[in-house]
Structures are given as C-alpha cells and as structure tokens.
Structure 1
Amino acid sequence: MDVMPKWADVVLIPLISLLLAAALSAVVILAIGENPWNALKIMVEGSLGSTYGWGYTLYYATNFIFTGLAVAIAFHARMFNIGGEGQAVLGGLGVALVCLYIPFPHWSLALVAASVGAAIFGAGWAIIPAYLQAKRGSHIVITTIMFNFIAAALLNYLLVGALKPAGSMEPATGKFLPGTHLPSFQEMFSTADTVLFRGAPANVSFFVAIAACVVIWALIWRTRLGYEIRAFGHSESAAKYAGISPTKIIVISMSISGALAGMMAINNVMGEAERLVLNAVEGAGFIGIAVALMGRSHPFGVFLAAILFGFLYQGGAELALWTSIPRELIVVIQALVILFTGALDNMVRMPLERFFLARRRAAKPKPKLTPAE
C-alpha cells in the first residue's frame, strides 16, 4: 500500500518543490539588490499578461512538451535519455530536407511530411545508443551525451557545406518553400478588428504537441506495449521472466523517445525560423529532463511543467529587458527547480510520507476492549 495518496505524489510534491525553489530564487534576487515581488510581476505580465507574451510562452512550451515526453517515455523503461538535444538537431535536419526539396500544395501536407521526417531522423539517431546498450552493454547516459556532440558537429558540417545556399556566408539553409509555411497563432486567431499574438512565434505545432501528449498517454497506459515498457522499467528480471524481450523494449522505447525529441523541430525549425540554422535547439533537449522530472513522467504533468518552463523562459527575457537582473538568473531558477524536483525530492517526500502515515494511523479505529479486558 502506498504511504501517500496519488494526488499528493503527482501534485503536492512538485508544488512544494516549486515553492521552495521560488523562495530561494527570491533570496538570490534580494542579494543582487532587486525586489523579488517586482521581478515576479514583470515575469507574469511579460509572459502571461498579453497575447504576445502568451504566444512566446506557448512557443517555448511546445518545444519542452516534445522533449519532456521524449525523456518521460525513456524513464518509464528505466532509461535516462540525455540525448534529446542531439535527436532534436537531427530532427531539424529531417524537417529541412523535406521542406527544402519537396513542393507541397498546402501546409497541412507539409506538416505531416515534416513530422514524419523529424520523427524518422530523431528515432534513427536514438536507435544507435539503444542498440549499443541492448547488445553491447554500453550505458545509455554516456552514449546519448556523446551523440549530442556528434549531432552538433554533423549539422555544422552540413550547414557550411552541402546545405548552404550558393554565395551565402551564414551557416544556415535557404528559406523553405512557400507551401511549408505553418499558420501562426496571429494568423489563426486574429480578426479584421483585433490582432492577437502580434509577432509571437507560436504556431499550429502547439496542437501537434498536445496530440502527442494524448497519444503517449494512450500508449503507456492503454496498450500492451505500454504495459511491457512499464513492467520492464519496474523490474527487468521480472519482465524477462514474463517473456518480455529487453532488447525489444530498449530499442522501441528509445526509438519513440528520439522520434518525439526530433519532432520538436516542426515548431522551431519549420514553424518559427522556416529554415535550419545552427543552435536552433537552444538547450530544449536538456530542459526536457527537468520537465519530465517535474511532470512525474506523466503526459499531463509534462504539459503543465512545459508551460511553467515556457513562462520562465519568456519571463526571464522580460526581466533582462526591463530590469538590471541578468537573464542568466533564469538559468539559476531553472536549476533550483531541477534541484528540488530531482536531487532533493526526498527532502520534500519523506516529511509528507510521515505526515500522511500519521494521519492514516490516527484515522484507524482503535479496537474496543471487552469488560473482561
């Protein structure tokens, strides 16, 4: 029997961890001579106080949903995929090849093709470390970290060579073909009288990310494959005894993980830049680790955590613009969130477990004594 109710594990622990991280962040802001309350107001107004702010918040959140789901599904199979950054880089390459060389009559067809291209390239990059772990015993953490650097080097080689337009000095591809333009939120939700999300990069890929959350939830909790993945993650020996192949689970889980990380590129490469550039991922692969940790590897939790980190990214930009607080402070806040939700999880969990255990004991009816006793 679980000591704590499920809602406490999923909601209460991350919430308390977030409040502790916020309190410590306030101390840091005070230490550099700024007002924490004013800083919070600027972050909230800049990221949530207008459709423009929401547009940027949801744009960042879209990236984090994809990479958070990628890390989450690997977590369920007891694997730590640190390679989301490299898999997203290769996903961008898949998107670029589709959008540069195939003329599409409509953006919907381009979106489907680019999603498939991104997923194939991301999954292909993740399969190699998966195979090395399944067949050669190589540790997935080490190999996926190494493959991040290989992916970055490969992209750099291609962008200064085969994919660079003739006469260009910039390490980037040319603009994608017109039929690949994805509708932005401004185009989708503005009217003749009101312009919403003006200039914000949020686009239709946000809804693709939401659909991915639903699909991954159904896969993990409503299919036989999802049951096998979770069984393998709980106990490899028990899973093998039940006839579940470790090689199959490792390769399939990492393939899905890599495909999700690669699909991030439909947002930042296809939807926002409309070309492939260096450093397009901007650390979103690593932020996905924090998103998965805070979201407890559940798609709905990943969605909420991605919104939070989108808020931190956009709010941090507003802080750097309107105050003397450096944007790097947001990295500190993110690190504190990761610290409390990950490394210091037991610091919050153990007191709560004792609290709920004491409540359960107090609520348990005491046996009645008979007169003879």
Structure 2
Amino acid sequence: MSLAVHPNESRTAAVIHLDPVRLRSAKKAYTTRFLADTLALDAGGYELLSGKPSAGDVVLARVTEIGHHTRLESPASRRQSMFVGDEILVAFGNRYAPDQFLAVVPEDLGPCSLVAGGGLAAKVLKQHDDIDKATAIEPIGLLAKNGKVLNLQDFAPHRVSSETQLPGRPKVIAVLGTSMNSGKSTALGCLVNGLSRAGLTVAAGKATGTGAGNDPMLYTDGGAHHVLDFTDFGFPTTYLLDYETVRGLLTSLIDALTTTGIDVVVVEIADGVYQGETARLLQDPVFHTAVDRVVFAAADALGATAGVQVLRQAGIDVAAVSGLLTASPLAAQEASGVIDARVIDTFDLCDPATALELLPERK
C-alpha cells in the first residue's frame, strides 16, 4: 500500500501503524544513521503517513527495479546489496551531480528513484548518458511519530546557527575543484594526513554536497581528530537549500570543528566553482572571513587555469593546485607552465613538509 500534507499540516489520510519488527528489518541508509541509532533502542510507536514530501523527510520505500545504484550505504557505511522487494529507509532530497543525476524532491509519494547510494529519494530530471537509469523505488509512506512526519533534522546532533565564533578560529584551508570527481576528497585526505604527520591536530569537514560516508571516513583515515559534514546538521544534500542556510552551514561547520586543541581546519566544498551555491559562496565576504587559503583540485590543465582565474578574481588566496590532473605528469607539466600557483601531486600532500608550506599566515 502506498500513501501519498507536510509535517505541519493536518492529517486526515490513512495511517499505517508500523510493526517494530518490520521497521527494524528495513535496510537503513547512511543519511538516516542518527534515526537508525534511535530505532535500535526502540522501534515502537512509529507510523506511516501520506503527504507532500520535503527535503530531509524520512520515507519507507520498496525497491521495484535495480538500476544505477545496486547497493545502499548503511549507517556504518557498509555497501548493502539491494534486491527487488527490499524495504529501505531513506530521505527525500535534491541532487546535483553532473556525472550522475539532476533530481528534485517530488510533489507526491508516487514512484520515484534512489538517486544516491547514501540514501536519497528523488525524481530524476536529467542524467548522464553513460550511466544506467536510476534504481526505481515505490514510497510506502512518510515515517512519523505522534502524527508528525520525521525529518533528518529531528535527529541531527548539530544545528545551523547564524551566530559564529569565527574570529577565534584556527587556520582554515578549503579544498575546491573544477567539478565532481576532480580529486577534491583525495587531496583533502592527503593534506590532512600530511598536517597530522607534521604533529598538528587537524579537524576536517565537508560543507556541501550529497550525503555519503566515504569522504568523512577518508578524512578520518587521513588522521583527522574531528570530522563532520552537512549530514551532521540534518541535511541529506545541500542542493537547492536557501543560500543563507548554505552560508550558515559553512560557518557552523567550522565552529563545530573548532574544538579544544585543534590547530587547523580543512573543509571541502563540493562540486565545481560554477555550481550555484559554490559560486555564490566565493563572492561572499563571510567566506573570505572564514577561509584563509584554498587548495584547488582539477582534472586537467585547462580546468586548473580557469579555476585559479575564477578564484583569484574573487580575491581568494590559492595555495596550490592538485587533484586528478596530477595523475598525469604531462597534464601537471602543462598546468605548471601556464599558472603561477604551485602544482602539487595529490599524494605529495601527505609529506609533512609540503603540507606545512600550505598553511596560511594568521590574518
């Protein structure tokens, strides 16, 4: 049975009272990990409601056809194989992924798609030609308790705040790139590793993007003392969030990472410099106050040249260029010949001396 009223609207439609065993048996997604912790303690008293979904609303859905995503990332970041007929607990959200899908929260609880392995339900508007169609899912109902639809923000350990403590922050380096899959996360992980090996206490986070566990785990594996991302603030993705929230996420993330003893904070900004939220951030005085320097990841020399130009026109200090282009000695050589920023092999960022050279002077 599929249901298809926002959390704050009145409830007049049918209600399905969920058997705790059924709810526990559903495969949980990474995006729902804080809710999953709650359900592990007590899965009683939950229900499914109809209504118009909003970003972050939790939905119980049934897999009807396996497509591009064959596995669902678990709360512990294990890749769970999915089978037709599986019931999964995921969140509605919008996705901007040039290599995969452009997708939005649907208007109702009709059939839709799983558009990210971390657990994102949405309606696909466009997709890359080289990938399979999205895995098809059928929403059964919005997860609720006491008549209120549950949203990821109800369980998130952190909140976005308009008040910041940025003047007292440690040094902050942001990692940006030309696009999705330009090598940002690997560069950040290597930079964290180099700074940690140099004896510094490093915190790392991801301010924008699509919720998944692989990047935070990479930061942890690199040696970060404290790791957070936007999902810790209750957002499955940041695409189509109002800009004030995106800006608040950046500063709130840096504030939350600035715990006692942290020497340096390294933050990843997802997607490319032309992506809407990123492009606006680069022009924002708050970004310039929050971030001291940028390491830029690019896939080729032309992208590196254009990206550095965009950043410098925005008045941003580019410490180095790295990323996927450094896998090719010829591409790295081309980039070095046309830009005056240092081009550093991604894995050379693991060298303590190299990493320390990228630290900014205190403002």
Tell which structure's C-alpha radius of gyration is larger: 1
Q: Which has the higher helix share?
A: 1
Tell me if TM exceeds 0.5: no
Relative contact order higher in (CA < 8 Å, ≥ 6 apart): 1
TM normalised by structure 1 equals: 0.23
**TM-score, normalised on structure 2?**
0.24
